[in-house]
Amino acid sequence: MPLTIKTFSNVEGGNSFYKAISHPMTAQKTLNFIEKLSNSGSVAIYDPQGFYSGFAEFYDLSDINIVQSFVQNYDKIGTKIAGIAAQPITNLPNTDANTLLIATFDSKKLQAHIDHLTPTNCSVVSFDEIRLDEALLTNKHTYLDNRNFATNFAFFRDEAGARTRLSTLNYWAGYGAQNVSLHLILFDEDGGIIAEWDEKLGDCPEPIIIDSRKIRERFSLGDFTAQLFIHAIGVAGHDIVKYALDTWNDAGNELSCTHDANAWPSDLYAGLPAPRENEEVVLWVQNSHPKPITSGEVGLNLMGSQEVTWLKESIPGFGTYKLIVNQLLPSARWPHQIEIHAGKHFVRPRYEITSPEKARRIAHVNVERSDLNPDPGITELGDLMGKGFILPAPILPMETWTSEMQPSPMSTCQKDLPIAALIIDSSGKEIIRHSFGRLPRDHGTSLDMTTIMKNSPPLPSGSGHMELIYDFSDGGEADGWLHSNFCYRNHQTGHAADTSFGAHIFNSVITYHNEPQSYNGPPPGLSTRLFLRLGHEPLDTICHLIYPASTSWHSTSDTVLTLIGADGVEIAREKVLIPCGGSAHHRYHSLFNETDRKKAGAGAYLIVRDTTCRLFGYHGLLAENGAFSLDHMFGF
């Protein structure tokens, strides 16, 4: 059964209570607390904030002798808590329970409110007994402050020559944070802890690199395919842990990347591509909770089909399971897509595709929302919002790569997709407009840029970008949650990379709901600050920047790329002007000379900054043998 706890709201953000009770560093405390309650005789529950049911989702409470439940809110009287009709808290003096559990954190004030109602022979306990240690808290006064739970998970492997590197930076320092640190836990496939350590950070935006080889050496580990838990302490500005994740192998035929896992589990995920001929597709299911995932709680179905095939295996708390899609859904074939029934048991998972050449590439699926309905306002935006929602993605230099688009249904209300694809050169000129019409939910459609442009002149600079937009020429509905997969392939070597994203409104001073989104503060988001990690030598780094514009905006961007060394000190700057609606394809080795690159050293990074417009950026690594990676950058 899916977990019924609320993990995230697109209006309110992440649910810190969910993170508090599922945190791996409180799991043993919680088991001890439950044992204490089980041995304390009869127990009454006081649930003033409605937290008890969420707590019960993650732990077996059947040994606790719960005899009564109480609420504070008049409207909640009579509702069931622990299977018992709730009474008003004013009835507490009549209880015969040995123990009263106040089902919340920071309970002193709430307890003070009912001290005069609590029988003298009734002991009082609360969730404060299962708090994180003080050293792990950013705000020690308000436990459920989201900053206390700046956490995330990462796929992490060092096995048979396959390596992993997580790259980010201390972007919290830019918001005034001091003495930031990371607490990290590495869980093996069975959910056991094989490494645990701290990383102390300085007070400047220095790079953070966690390399599987160094962790393996430091803790004398053998091969592992694992899950890395990251808890950031002392943060400011953002309570989200963002990162780029590179995977490669010593043989040199594998080079891939993805990004942060989105720290709030979802009921559904979508955008998992079915295998092409002779490909193997693996979904890495990594349990985000102390509670095991039991047989029949995770399933797959072809997008648009109601027939779900359920995984019969169980996955231990914080464990990792290699789900081979070809085996669970043997009839699935690209270009069809697969829907994942996740039951809120894990954060946004990675998938990995092994090609016939035995080269693997990694990517992630996206959250499929079940809380949306068609929004009539989108169909009525008209000229005021120009193109409206835009999903931009690169067209890589066509002499080397093919670029392919595969629109993805990403909410349960999307019965069809009324969309069109625009092919745009680097100057911002629209070359081709391809109408998909109204793609059905179960469509098996993709669009190859090489094929669609075979009768068109080549792009003047060799590269450009594509945009997926709404097209209501044939009618249809929209909800604003427009997504697509993108696949890139070196047509000489066969190396490939996958990425995906969703649409936004870009560069419009008129706002629609929460668009254009801003990384910090209310919309509109009309500026850019992107993190670009750099590959170690001899790998070059791809930087593909797109200037999408829903409405007419500044004629060119005013973009600065700043090279920052491993010590957080600026080395050099380059200015880039991108035409409105256009794009620019750059390489690190061409942008900055060898002297500056050597001075920057290993661990250096770029910041892409523009105060005049919102850019969308893609990064990747490039090897001399044609292996490459590609994904979108993160902003902060």
Cβ atoms of 42 and 97 within 8 Å: the answer is yes
Verify that 212 and 267 share a domain, yes or no.
yes
pLDDT digits (tens, 9 = 90+) for 161-220: 999 999 999 999 999 999 999 999 999 999 999 999 999 998 888 999 999 999 999 999
Residue 11 CA from chain centroid, whole number: 17
Q: Pick from 157, 128, 153: which is nearest to 143 by CA?
A: 128
Q: Pick from 123, 120, 143: which is nearest to 133 by CA?
A: 143
- Helix or strand run (H / E) with residue 108: helix 108-114
CA-based radius of gyration for the chain? 26
H helices of 156-314, where?
A: 212-218
Residue 12, pLDDT score:
61
Structure tokens at 561: 């790329």
Q: Considering the chain, what is the average pLDDT of its residues?
A: 96
CA distance 70 to 84: 9
Bridge partner residues of 283 (DSSP): 323, 351
Q: Which of 364, 398, 428 is the last residue in one of the domains?
A: 364
Verify that 335 and 412 share a domain, yes or no.
no
Statement: residue 558 has pLDDT above 80: yes
Verify that 95 and 200 share a domain, yes or no.
no
pLDDT-based confidence at 11, cuts 50/70/90? low
Domain count, the chain: 3
Is residue 430, in this structure, part of any structural domain at all?
yes
Is residue 52, in this structure, part of any structural domain at all?
yes
pLDDT-based confidence at 13, cuts 50/70/90? low
pLDDT-based confidence at 520, cuts 50/70/90? confident
**Mean pLDDT in residue range 21-34:** 97
75 versus 567: which is more confidently predicted? 75
Statement: residue 517 has pLDDT above 80: yes
Query: Phi and psi of 436, rounded to 5°?
Result: -85, -10
Verify that 87 and 193 share a domain, yes or no.
no
Statement: residue 383 has pLDDT above 90: no
From the number of C-beta atoms within 10 Å of its C-beta (0-12, 13-18, 19+), residue 358 rates as exposed
Cβ atoms < 10 Å from Cβ of 108? 10
Residue 7, pLDDT score:
87
Verify that 71 and 122 share a domain, yes or no.
yes
**Mean pLDDT in residue range 51-77:** 97
Q: Which of 100, 134, 168 is the last residue in one of the domains?
A: 134
Question: Which CATH number belongs to the domain containing residue 34 in this structure?
Answer: 3.40.50
**Mean pLDDT in residue range 303-319:** 98
Verify that 285 and 393 share a domain, yes or no.
no
Verify that 126 and 51 share a domain, yes or no.
yes
Is residue 104, in this structure, part of any structural domain at all?
yes
Verify that 452 and 572 share a domain, yes or no.
yes
Cβ atoms of 283 and 337 within 8 Å: the answer is no
3-state secondary structure of 91: helix
pLDDT digits (tens, 9 = 90+) for 238-280: 999 999 999 999 999 999 999 999 899 999 999 999 999 999 9
H helices of 252-296, where?
A: none
**Mean pLDDT in residue range 299-309:** 97
Verify that 305 and 331 share a domain, yes or no.
yes
Is residue 1, in this structure, part of any structural domain at all?
no
Is residue 424, in this structure, part of any structural domain at all?
yes
**Mean pLDDT in residue range 64-91:** 98
Sign of the CA dihedral with 464 first, then 466, 472, and 475 last: positive
CA distance 238 to 178: 14
3-state secondary structure 124-174: EEEHHHHCCCHHHCCCCCCCCCHHHHEEEEEEEEEECCEEEEEEEECHHHH
For the chain, what percent of residues have pLDDT higher than 90? 93
pLDDT-based confidence at 508, cuts 50/70/90? very high
CA distance 342 to 365: 12
Is residue 370, in this structure, part of any structural domain at all?
no
Concatenated DSSP letters for 394-432?
EE--TTTEEEEEEEE--BTT-SEEEEEEEEEETTS-EEE
Residue 8, pLDDT score:
73
Is residue 457, in this structure, part of any structural domain at all?
yes
- Lowest model confidence (mean pLDDT) among 61-70, 375-384, 434-443: 375-384
Statement: residue 318 has pLDDT above 80: yes
Verify that 355 and 385 share a domain, yes or no.
no
Domain, as residue range, for 544: 376-635
Structure tokens at 280: 């193997």
CA distance 188 to 49: 35
**Mean pLDDT in residue range 583-595:** 97
**Mean pLDDT in residue range 302-315:** 97
CA 526 to each of CA 482, 533, 553, 610, 612: distance values in angstroms, whole numbers, following the listed order? 21, 23, 10, 9, 7
CA 146 to each of CA 8, 178, 281: distance values in angstroms, whole numbers, following the listed order? 12, 17, 35
Sheet containing 320-324, strands listed edge to edge, beginning at the edge strand earlier in sequence:
320-324, 280-286, 350-354, 360-364
Statement: residue 221 has pLDDT above 80: yes
Helix, strand, coil fractions of the chain, as percent rounded to 5:
15, 40, 45
* Residue 568 DSSP one-character state: S
pLDDT digits (tens, 9 = 90+) for 131-148: 999 999 999 999 999 999
CA distance 411 to 47: 33
CA distance 276 to 333: 6
Statement: residue 443 has pLDDT above 80: yes
Verify that 207 and 108 share a domain, yes or no.
no
**Mean pLDDT in residue range 523-536:** 95
Verify that 347 and 387 share a domain, yes or no.
no
Cα angle, residue 364 at apex, residues 155 and 186 outer, rounded to 5°: 10
Q: Which of 364, 391, 416 is the last residue in one of the domains?
A: 364
* Residue 623 DSSP one-character state: -
Residue with tokens 């120009």: 386
Is residue 106, in this structure, part of any structural domain at all?
yes
Structure tokens at 436: 């998909």
